[in-house]
Homo-oligomer: A and B are copies of this chain.
């Protein structure tokens, strides 16, 4: 009984729906960051030998959709960055398509599977939960870098708090 009560109370920490909203909230902010880049600099600007923001977004796109599909389907995903033909609009389109993929697949994760061990893309060991957090945190990390790129171009990035 005591155990059961503890379990039920732990339910209050985070629900799947909240985790999905947390992820999509961040993805909305990242989308606004893509929009803030001038077409040219999105593909050319970099600092300290780092990847362009387009390349960082390519990585995020290569992770999010295939990653959530892998979590649900159980089939090892291939890490593959796609060619969006150097057009920002194609990135935004792919971003929105990924939003739909996540909304479709995420609710299919069984509640009891969030702590299941997996190896995403055949190499990153963790649980379903830690993998999803890695996807999110990696995006926040690189988006923060995009903010520096924007600032160095004298462009005001979107407001961080408001996601």
A residues apposed to B, CB below 8 Å: 4, 6-16, 18-19, 22, 26, 47-50, 111-112, 114-115, 124, 129, 133-134, 137-138, 140-145, 147-154, 160-161
User: Closest CB of chain B to A16's CB: distance in Å?
Assistant: 6
A14 touches B12 (CB 8 A): no
Bound state CA distance, A154 and B151, in angstroms? 20
User: Closest CB of chain B to A42's CB: distance in Å?
Assistant: 16
Bound state CA distance, A124 and B160, in angstroms? 13
Can you give 5 A-B contacts (C-beta < 8 A)? A8-B8, A10-B15, A11-B11, A13-B13, A48-B154
User: Closest CB of chain B to A116's CB: distance in Å?
Assistant: 10
Inside 8 A of A112's CB, which chain B residues have their CB? 9, 12
The secondary-structure label for the interface of chain A is helix
User: Closest CB of chain B to A61's CB: distance in Å?
Assistant: 18
Bound state CA distance, A26 and B136, in angstroms? 13
A7, A12, A50, A115 — most chain B CB neighbours (10 Å): A12
A160 touches B138 (CB 8 A): yes
Inside 8 A of A141's CB, which chain B residues have their CB? 140-141, 143-144, 147, 160
Contact of A145 among B6, B9, B12, B145 (CB under 8 A): B145
Bound state CA distance, A11 and B50, in angstroms? 40
